[in-house]
Amino acid sequence: MRMLMLKPLSWVLPLVLLAPTAPAVAAGTAPAATSWTLPGVGDVGASVESADGRLRLRVSSGGTEALSVADLGLVTSTTDLSKDLTLRSQNHRTLRTAYRMTTGKQRERTVLQEESRLTFSNPSGAQLALVVRVSDDGVAFRYELPGAATVQRETGGFELAPDATSWLQPYNPQHENEHAEATAATAPTGEFGHPALFRRGSTYTLLAESGLDGRYSGGRLTHTQGSGRYDVRLADAAVASTGVTSWRTMIVGDLATVTGSTLVDDLAEPARFTGTSWVQPGLSSWSWLAENSSPRDFERQKDYVDAAARNNLSYVLVDEGWSPVWLPELTRYARARGVEVLIWFHWTNLQTQAQRDEWLPKLVAWGVKGVKVDFMESDSQARYQWYDAILADTAKHRLMINFHGSTVPHGLARTWPHLMTMEGVRGEENGLNATRNTILPFTRNVIGSMDYTPTRFATASNPKPQTTNAHELALPVVYESGWTHIVSTPEELASQPEGERFLRQLPTAWDETRLLSGTPGVETVIARRDGARWFAGGIRSGTGGTVTVPLTFLGGTGRWLVEIVTENQGALSRSSAVRRAADRLDLLVADRGGFVLQACPYSPGLTTCDKPHREPPRTSVLVDVSADEVATGGTVELQGVFVARTGGSVRDLALAPELPAGWSVVAGKPVRKSLLREGESVSGRWTVKLNPAGVRGDVELVVAGTYTAPDGRRIHSADAARVFAEPLPPKGSTYVSDQPWTDETNGYGRPQQRDRSHGGDNEPATLSIAGKTFGKGVGSHAPSSLTTWLGGACSRFFAEVGVDDGTTTGEGSVTFVVLGDGRQLAGTPVIRAGETAHLLDVDVTGVKRLTLATTDGGNGKNSDHADWGTASLTCAP
């Protein structure tokens, strides 16, 4: 959205919608042809016309029609509201709004929209309101019904000039196909995802959706080759609508207008909460793409933390494979280095309210700041209802969130300010493609933050001929993402010192964004401002050459220090010059190359725009406890020692316990120290109590020192002592899946599943062995282990075990083992896929810890989906 100079509210006069092509008619009489010109904004205009009771919306830019939408309307389960429509009423209002984003191409947004509402009825008396909003960067419409209804389909079709150039992405639920260039008519028959880009002359049109949540269903575009028409198909055959659809959004104008548009956010609902100081965009180190196995490696993750600390990256993202055994320790290590931790989840592990209630408080207790949730891969209403639920829950726990394997943005980042980014793109993890890179700034990234996972530098052992190092360095500027996950290894980053230096300075949320030049599929040059500093990046897809960069975006008449990073035979190098806004740069880039620059106001003697970066002092906390096991109502003595080791003094230190929920300090107070110099230490001692509602199992009693580092940051340095808090024993007849687990490991992918199979999303969720299904039990993948506390209160364990029917190959083979307090109580021979369930009926009298384990059957773990059907306990009442 371009910034507008708005006139006072008294300037707004009542507007009458005109019908220039036909006289007014009595209500209830359908005219042969009537049109209504709607109030426009700037160069953008719109009109609605009715011909024989069918509606069409026309959209213009600069006085020329950009597209129209024919056959507007809905079909519900009870009526057809797409034909024989008669105007019943019309009204208009001017909307002026201002809001602030935590992420995005422009933090502060000022919006002017002209809204027209035309209400129609069909011969049966059913009513449909067509609501149209016109802004200076496009037009949007939605349908509103008098009440709830089951929507079966939308009938409106977007009609583009047949010869308009198109850049379309064949639809799939994860939105990860490549864009293909064609024309509106010659594009193949099929389904295409939002957003869809078209160009006729110098006017571009981007089709998108906005205001889409669990009250409606996601849409895609359908097309028949030879036609310029694109219809909407909903993901669900029947949508339980509250009576309001999502916004069909048409961004129109020149390429700069489309690229800079905020229309999708402008149409979305306002923020659900204020007080966003805990929401922090930033760069993140991410190891999975370069080293798939590294998220399972605690020591290797520490290397990524160290690289993040060295390079001023705010976060480290620990992807699939992390273990709850060591993740709290990694989080403490990272936070002491000034780095926060984000962790990956398969969405099915946060699918239910119970799962979220279990995991989210635990993450907060560990010090995790956000989650990446993956593999949703659906545009259905049910999936959007899940998005609504997890957004509300993570906001409640002050956890930021990234949706990966997801739909595309629909304005949710305005409604939920802690939503930092979404994938919905064929990103760098799908391979390098310079042509793709120069299309995405004008398509997917227009509508919201894009989790592309860019910037892997080439080395001698990892050459990347598809792009260059300068091209890769430019991507975090060319692309906007509240969290930007850098995929270079620590060693690859260190191989390019000027790349590291530039990344240390780079923000990920912006005050202003401008397209400097570009052609989809060929070249993109974008400038973004953060405060007084400008950053710009440029990329090309084909043959190298000179890229001209006008510096007019700097503005004013003063001088600017401009620092430029380019590339020579793979090595990034930096140069600088003092320039004015009237100047231009002519930069030579390589084939599929790029460049970046940083600019700041110049004053005599200034040699760099860099803000100083200083790593926090090296500190440590030592923790000791008086006992390693505690029962309900019991206490332990907790001691903590904070040591300032190297790297400078710490100020305003507060040393205190951070206890699990339901624990309390019954003696001792925080220790405070205004100044602690290198080599000095301070200690504290506390008595802590396990209350009846306290967290149990293997818990960590943390002592943390929070202090102010020399650069002004508040740093959290902590360590913990492990204590086993005896859980309350089970009572009566119960199921293992209903009990807390004190320990759990799994052989592949997601953790073990309660009352559902471990298989993939396309496999049946019901536990099933040789055709016999189980409503209760545990789904695992060998080798696996889970432990639950019996406390000597139970006498019998029963289960029917076998390989889950979701295993489609003959490879599945598993053995099952039951252990009590580490001693084997029962076991099975190797059980293979398709074999009937084996019965386990085990005496567990006196057992405190019950462990259920599986092995891979001796032929590897492929397809070893193991089910503990029923898995029940008989315990004292």
SS3 category, 335:
helix
For residue 485, is it within any domain? yes
**Residue 8: pLDDT above 70?**
no
Q: Is the pLDDT of residue 462 over 90?
A: no
Which residues, including other chains, have CB under 8 Å from residue 739's CB and lie 6 or more apart? 730, 788, 789, 873
3-state DSSP call for residue 797?
strand
Taking 70 as the threshold, does the pLDDT of residue 4 lie above it? no
pLDDT at 14 over 70: no
Strand ranges, E, within 602-729: 618-625, 629-630, 635-646, 650-658, 663-667, 671-676, 681-690, 697-708, 714-725
In 3D space, the residue among 493, 285, 238, 509 whose CA is nearest the CA of residue 382 turns out to be: 238
Residue type, 63: G
Residue type, 191: E
Between these two residues, 48 and 860, which has the higher pLDDT value? 48
Question: CA 54 to CA 158: how far, in whole Å?
Answer: 14
CATH number at 826 reads: 2.60.120.1060
Q: What does the alpha-carbon distance between residue 665 and residue 654 come to, in Å, rounded to a whole number?
A: 16
- Which pLDDT score is estimated for 31? 46
User: Is residue 825 included in any domain, yes or no?
Assistant: yes
What does the pLDDT average to over 741-768? 81
**Span 286-317, pLDDT tens digits:** 999 999 999 999 999 999 999 999 999 999 99
The answer as to whether 667 is a domain residue is yes
CATH number at residue 480: 3.20.20.70
pLDDT at 765 over 90: no
Average the pLDDT over 72-99 and give the result: 97
Could you tell me what percent of the chain has a pLDDT over 90?
A: 90
Structure token digits, residue 472: 């890769």
Is 578 within the bounds of a domain? no
Report residue 429: phi and psi, to 5°: -70, -15
Whether residue 788 is found in the same domain as residue 706: no
State the chain's mean pLDDT as an integer: 94
* CA–CA–CA angle 637, 643, 644 (5° rounding): 155
Q: Quickly state the pLDDT bin for 764 (edges 50, 70, 90).
A: low
Same domain, 655 and 784: no
- Of 457, 483, 509, the residue at which a domain comes to its end is 509
Q: Which residue has the tokens 């432990």?
A: 787
pLDDT above 70 for 25: no
Pair (337, 396) in one structural domain: yes
Amino acid (one-letter) located at 829: P
Q: Which residue has the tokens 């907060």?
A: 364
Residues 224 and 256 in one domain: yes
Whether 64 and 90 share a structural domain: yes
Q: Which of 374, 451, 472, 567 is catalytic?
A: 374
Q: Report which secondary-structure segment, H or E, holds 284.
A: strand 282-286
Task: Give the separation between CA 549 and CA 29, rounded to whole angstroms.
Answer: 59
Compare 763 and 555 and report the one with higher pLDDT: 555
Burial class (CB in 10 A: 0-12, 13-18, 19+), 9: exposed
Has 480 been annotated as catalytic?
A: no
**pLDDT score of 293:** 95
Rounded-to-integer distance, Cα 747 and Cα 736, Å: 19
Answer for the pair 219, 233: CB distance below 8 angstroms, yes or no: yes
Residues 443 and 294 in one domain: yes
E strand map for 123-217: 127-135, 138-144, 149-154, 157-159, 165-168, 180-183, 190-192, 196-200, 203-210
Quick one: pLDDT at residue 12?
33
Return all residues near 47 (Cβ < 8 A) that are at least 6 apart. 35, 36, 37, 38, 57, 58
Q: Is 632 found in the same domain as 489?
A: no
519 residue type, one letter: T
- Report pLDDT digits (tens) over 791-850: 999 999 999 999 999 886 667 899 999 999 999 999 999 999 899 999 999 999 999 999
Mark whether 288 and 309 lie in a shared domain: yes
Largest CA distance in the chain: 91
Judged against a pLDDT cut of 70, whether residue 87 lies above it is answered with yes
Q: Which two tokens stand for residue 378?
A: 């659906």
Pairwise CA distance, residues 205 & 197, whole Å: 6
Whole-angstrom distance, CA of residue 504 vs CA of residue 483? 14
Q: What is residue 67's predicted lDDT score, i.e. its pLDDT?
A: 98
Of 89, 91, 90, 48, which Cα lies nearest the Cα of 70? 48
The pLDDT tens digits for 519-567 are 999 999 999 999 999 999 999 999 999 999 999 999 999 999 999 999 9
Q: Answer yes or no: do 197 and 325 share one domain.
A: no
Q: According to the model, what pLDDT value does residue 810 have?
A: 67
pLDDT at residue 2, as a whole number: 34
- Residue 180 placed within a domain: yes
Q: Which of 71, 80, 297, 429 is catalytic?
A: 429
pLDDT exceeds cutoff 50 at 29 = no
Contacts of 77 (CB under 8 A, 6+ apart): 149, 150, 152, 238
Using one digit for the tens of pLDDT, what is the confidence trace for 169-204?
Answer: 999 999 999 999 999 999 999 999 999 999 999 999
Q: Specify the 3-state DSSP secondary structure of 412.
A: helix
Could you give the residue ranges of the DSSP H alpha helices within 573-658?
A: none
Q: Which residue has the higher pLDDT, 190 or 765?
A: 190
Report the candidate in 377, 474, 432 with the shortest Cα–Cα distance to residue 760. Answer: 377
The verdict on whether 299 is a catalytic residue reads no
Among candidate residues 694, 725, 756, the one where a domain is terminated: 725
Closest CA to 137 of 227, 12, 256: 256
Who's near 813: CB < 8 A, 6+ residues apart?
803, 830, 831, 832, 833, 856, 857, 858, 859, 864
3-state secondary structure of 428: helix
User: 864 - beta bridge partners?
Assistant: none
Q: Which tokens in the block code for residue 629? A: 């096991």
The upper half-sphere exposure of residue 657, i.e. CA atoms within 13 Å in the direction of its Cβ, equals 26
Mean pLDDT within 711-723:
95
**In CATH, what number is assigned to the domain containing residue 58?**
2.70.98.10
Query: Measuring CA to CA, which residue among 585, 582, 544, 539 is closest to residue 563?
Result: 585
Does residue 243 register a pLDDT over 60?
yes
261 and 301 belong to one structural domain: no
Same domain for 412 and 394, yes or no, is yes
Orientation of helix 353-366 relative to helix 381-396, angle to 10°: 30
pLDDT value of position 751: 84
Is 770 inside a domain boundary?
yes
Residue 393 has what pLDDT? Answer: 98
Judging by beta carbons within 10 Å of its beta carbon (0-12, 13-18, 19+), is residue 607 exposed, middle or buried?
exposed
Q: What is the DSSP letter of 739?
A: S
Strand partners, 733: 874
Q: What is the pLDDT of residues 103-129, one digit of tens each?
A: 999 999 999 999 999 999 999 999 999
Which of the four pLDDT bands, split at 50, 70 and 90, describes residue 396? very high
Distance CA 367, CA 365 (A): 5
Q: Are residues 322 and 450 in the same domain?
A: yes
Nearest to 614 by CA among 704, 705, 715, 499: 715
In a domain, 711, yes or no: yes
> Domain boundary at 266, 294, 323, which?
266
Domain coverage including residue 680: 618-725
Q: How far apart are CA 60 and CA 44, in angstroms?
A: 6
| 802's tokens | 């076998």
Report pLDDT for 24.
Answer: 38
In DSSP notation, 355-385 reads HHHHHHHHHHHHT--EEEEE-----SHHHHH
- Which pLDDT score, from 0 to 100, does residue 808 have? 63
Residue whose entry in the numeric block shows the structure tokens 């300037």: 11
Domain contains 568? no
**In this model, does residue 206 exceed pLDDT 50?**
yes
pLDDT band at 692 (very low <50, low <70, confident <90, very high): very high
Q: Where residue 710 sits, what CATH number does that domain have? A: 2.60.40.10
Provide the pLDDT for residue 677.
96
Number of domains in the chain: 4
What 3-state class would DSSP assign to 318? strand
How high is the pLDDT of residue 862?
84
Nearest to 65 by CA among 57, 76, 73: 57
Asked whether residue 52 carries a pLDDT value surpassing 60, the answer given is: yes
**pLDDT at 33 (0 to 100):** 67
Q: Two tokens at 689?
A: 């109590």
